[in-house]
């Protein structure tokens, strides 16, 4: 008969605590960065666009992060993003010297994490018209870009305005990395070519 000791060797307890601490730290860091939003992050895409996060900054009395859009190095627009209650909202946008506020804020991503089959919809008023954003997570796809290979969540995003305009965009989102590929309604593929983390 084999005898099993009633106590584990004492050196395992500190080792286990170190492992548990590292695991909790990793989990916390992962949860905090699921939707990348740290000042200084940037993504460059094959269409000549670079997106950069900066902030925080005040927008309408709320602390937001600003997503700046540059084409060929020239700033063209910025979005004011709020990371709150397990979701990402857009409070407004600015382009061409005009700033637009969304009332209520437009829901961009819903939940602390995204799952296949998940969908959400949000409607906001902008000046004299409404904009409705509908999103659905279609699946997980392997994506190869100049910036690397990724397993990405494929999200179909449909934007409809009360003026009758409609756009459909496929986003390939990688948790803690961001959008690594866009596919426009005409089939144009825009890949991430560089990221600065």
Query: For the chain, which domains are there?
Result: 37-196 (2.40.360)
Tell me, what's the pLDDT at 26?
A: 32
Helix (H, G, I), strand (E, B) or coil at 96: coil
* Distance, CA of 149 to CA of 175 (rounded, Å): 13
User: CA dist 95 to 57, 99, 107, 121, 133, Å?
Assistant: 17, 7, 20, 24, 19
Backbone dihedral region of 60: left (phi > 0), alpha (psi from -120 to 50 degrees) or beta? left
Over the stretch 60-111, which tens digit does the pLDDT of each residue have?
A: 999 999 999 999 999 999 999 999 878 999 999 999 999 999 999 999 999 8
Closest CA to 131 of 152, 89, 159, 156: 159
Asked whether residue 114 carries a pLDDT value surpassing 80, the answer given is yes
Over the stretch 156-187, which tens digit does the pLDDT of each residue have?
A: 999 999 999 999 999 999 999 999 999 999 99
* Distance, CA of 191 to CA of 46 (rounded, Å): 5
* Structure tokens, 96: 């061409």
Give the residue carrying structure tokens 């009758």.
Answer: 164
pTM: predicted TM-score of the whole model, two decimal places: 0.81
Tell me, what's the pLDDT at 197?
A: 78
Over the stretch 122-156, which tens digit does the pLDDT of each residue have?
A: 999 998 899 999 999 999 999 999 999 999 999 99
Give the residue carrying structure tokens 């989102």.
Answer: 173
């Amino acid at each position: 008969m084999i005898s099993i000791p009633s106590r584990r060797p004492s050196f395992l307890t500190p080792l286990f605590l170190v492992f548990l601490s590292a695991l909790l730290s990793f989990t916390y860091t992962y949860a905090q960065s699921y939707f990348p939003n740290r000042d200084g992050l940037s993504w460059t895409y094959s269409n000549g666009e670079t997106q950069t996060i900066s902030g925080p900054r005040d927008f309408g009395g709320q602390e937001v992060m600003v997503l700046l859009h540059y084409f060929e190095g020239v700033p063209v627009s910025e979005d004011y993003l709020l990371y709150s209650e397990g979701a990402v909202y857009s409070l407004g946008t600015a382009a061409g010297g005009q700033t637009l506020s969304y009332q209520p804020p437009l829901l961009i991503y819903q939940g602390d994490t995204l799952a296949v089959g998940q969908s959400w919809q949000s409607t906001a008023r902008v000046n004299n018209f409404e904009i409705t954003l509908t999103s659905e997570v279609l699946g997980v796809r392997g994506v190869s870009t100049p910036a690397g290979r990724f397993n990405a969540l494929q999200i179909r995003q449909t934007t409809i305005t009360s003026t009758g305009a409609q756009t459909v965009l496929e986003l390939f989102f990688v948790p803690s990395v961001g959008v690594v590929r866009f596919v426009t309604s005409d089939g144009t593929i825009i890949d991430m070519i560089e990221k600065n983390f």
